[in-house]
Structure 1
Amino acid sequence: MFAYIHREIVPVEKAFLHVSDLSIQRGYGIFDFFKVQDGHPYFLDDYLDRFYNSAASMQLEVPHQRDDLKSIIFSLITKNNIAASGVKMILTGGYSADGYQPAEPNLIITQHHLTLPGEDQIKNGVKIITHEFVRDFASAKTINYSTGIWLINKVKENQAVDVLYHQKGIVSEFPRCNFFIVRNDNTVVTPAHQVLRGITRKNILKLAARKYRAEEGVVTLEDIANAKEAFLTSTTKRIVPVVKVNETVIGDGKPGAVSLSLLNDLIALENEDFQSKAN
């Protein structure tokens, strides 16, 4: 396996940062992650838009223009030659002289084998729990996942798969996923504030609007309890139906028709994106 670091592609076992990097000293940096299938990165421009926007929000300068960064990404994908994978781009605060002031950012790009959710999660749905918390700089994809990681044991203890953040009952997001509910009239709704605007989230809103009413707005814990369906979305998970939140059963406790229909639409959209680049 190979990684990109310090402006060159090297074997991953030689890809190191110095301990003075601000990502190590203070957890300061941003990243992004996208899927690759047979050499094709899905929705790459959308992910690069978010990467550059996150960098600007955190006052970090990406050391390459977009076309140069694309060339590096494709070179790494070709060199690793993995059929199904994920690519992660990390931009750090750089080698800080005092462990606090940002310096020239370091860009690291890695590639990993990828596994999608199992059929059991799609067929039966999943349970989630809730926790009162709002991320710092929610609109930027930062590397700070301290709260989500700290809650891993609580998630496991409750036999859940993830934790949904809220503030005073107003829902935002998961540590690594976006959240949707389906109202009884089939309106598809996702939280609008204090969330990272996921690329899958964006695609689901577009797909949902073709056959349902789709909204970004306020979603409360009470709204979830009264919802017909609920689901989470992410790059690696696509859509996973949520059938239980804490001890509250959503709808009839089974994955709903709207959620599953949108999953099929998303897979078709991915296929379209793949074919458009192949041709």
Structure 2
Amino acid sequence: MPSNAKLHAYLHGQIQPLESAFLHVRDLSIQRGYGIFDYFKVQQGQPVFLADYLQRFYESARLMELAVPLATDALKDVIQQLIQVNHLPHSGIKMILTGGYSANGYDPGEPNLIILQQPLTLPTPEMIAQGIKIITYEYVREIPKAKTINYSTGIRLIKQIKEAGASDVLYQKNGVVTEFPRCNFFIVTQDDVVVTPDADVLLGVTRKNVLKAASQKYKIEERAVTLQDIAQAKEAFLTSTTKRILPVVQVDEIVVGNGKPGAVTLELLDDLVALEGRQ
């Protein structure tokens, strides 16, 4: 696997060695944490669900009043060039759009577009077989429909998550759950309805594809999900680009279902992997 020293990135309008790709300290992403990003997988040298990720990237930019310096086709060309240069057939690509170099440390400048490619790590078979424990925290992310670079709350809670022997944190407000810092959340009811929160969440691409796959076999619902719903659920799982589908077997002190990954969750994981393979 190539080392970081051999990888390349896109910045300032060109592909260059990763080790020499730097932003100036005047960039608003450094000064104020202002910017957006998106992330997608590359399998066998081909981006997976790229159109969906690009659509969300441009929408996040619009919501944050940032102009993407490349049109869609030009951005696709740069992505393909980077894939060819880096020779990472199985990887992840992150596109970051910053607030640009600010003259006064507050007003946006011309956005800087950064594209990085790194090796990808997926959940181990053991994690899938055992499921994970999560904790909850009272918080609703600002501008949920935008995938911003502000992960301050999630990062600040890493120590608390580890101390609880958990793997992640699920945001909730007044008992209504929304999302993880980097994932969407689902439950499966006792009568096999697949449910995911519909408000104050980022509309994940994996979330979209899981709903599509689930609708072929089960009833699906996008609605409010409460902590009480979790306590009564048969299964729970999270979804994301890097985790695909990962079973959740405990939420705080609530054991979900029988405390083991459920049949519906594992079936949907198989369906998602098959869907990715058809891209």
Taking structure 1 as the reference length, the TM-score comes to 0.97
CA distance in 2, matches of 1:22, 1:200: 30
CA distance in 1, matches of 2:43, 2:250: 32
CA distance in 1, matches of 2:71, 2:89: 27
The aligned residue for residue 183 of structure 1 is 189
Letter in 1 for 2:51: D
Structure 1: gaps of 5 or more residues: 274-279
Which contiguous aligned blocks of 4+ residues in structure 1 show a shift greater than 6 angstroms? none
Contact 2:46–2:89 (8 Å) recurs in 1: no
Q: How does 1:67-86 map to 2 (within 5 A)?
A: 67-86=73-92
Which residue of 83, 99, 105 corresponds with 2:111? 105
Task: Say whether residues 1:174 and 2:174 are aligned partners.
Answer: no
Task: Say whether residues 1:146 and 2:182 are aligned partners.
Answer: no
Task: Say whether residues 1:212 and 2:197 are aligned partners.
Answer: no
Taking structure 2 as the reference length, the TM-score comes to 0.97
The aligned residue for residue 269 of structure 2 is 263
Contact 2:26–2:105 (8 Å) recurs in 1: yes
Give 1:27 shift: 0.1
CA distance in 2, matches of 1:232, 1:121: 13
CA distance in 1, matches of 2:89, 2:80: 14
The aligned residue for residue 156 of structure 1 is 162
Task: Say whether residues 1:237 and 2:243 are aligned partners.
Answer: yes
CA distance in 2, matches of 1:194, 1:8: 36
The aligned residue for residue 3 of structure 2 is none
Task: Say whether residues 1:119 and 2:134 are aligned partners.
Answer: no
Give 1:247 shift: 1.2
CA distance in 2, matches of 1:162, 1:124: 15
Give 1:84 shift: 1.1
Letter in 2 for 1:264: D
Q: Which string of whole-angstrom CA distances, capped at 9 and with x for unpartnered residues, describes residues 83-117 of structure 1?
A: 21000000000000000001100000000000100
Give 1:121 shift: 1.1
CA distance in 1, matches of 2:249, 2:114: 38
Letter in 2 for 1:159: G
CA distance in 2, matches of 1:271, 1:12: 29
CA distance in 2, matches of 1:126, 1:103: 42
CA distance in 2, matches of 1:13, 1:260: 40
The aligned residue for residue 232 of structure 2 is 226
CA distance in 2, matches of 1:66, 1:215: 32
Which residue of 228, 249, 253 corresponds with 1:247? 253
Structure 2: gaps of 5 or more residues: 1-6
CA distance in 2, matches of 1:25, 1:244: 38
Q: How does 1:1-80 map to 2 (within 5 A)?
A: 1-80=7-86
Give 1:37 shift: 1.3
CA distance in 2, matches of 1:83, 1:92: 27
SS in 2 for 1:166: strand
Letter in 2 for 1:248: I
CA distance in 2, matches of 1:77, 1:151: 34
SS in 2 for 1:206: helix
Number of residue pairs aligned between Structure 1 and Structure 2 = 273
RMSD across aligned positions (CA)? 0.4
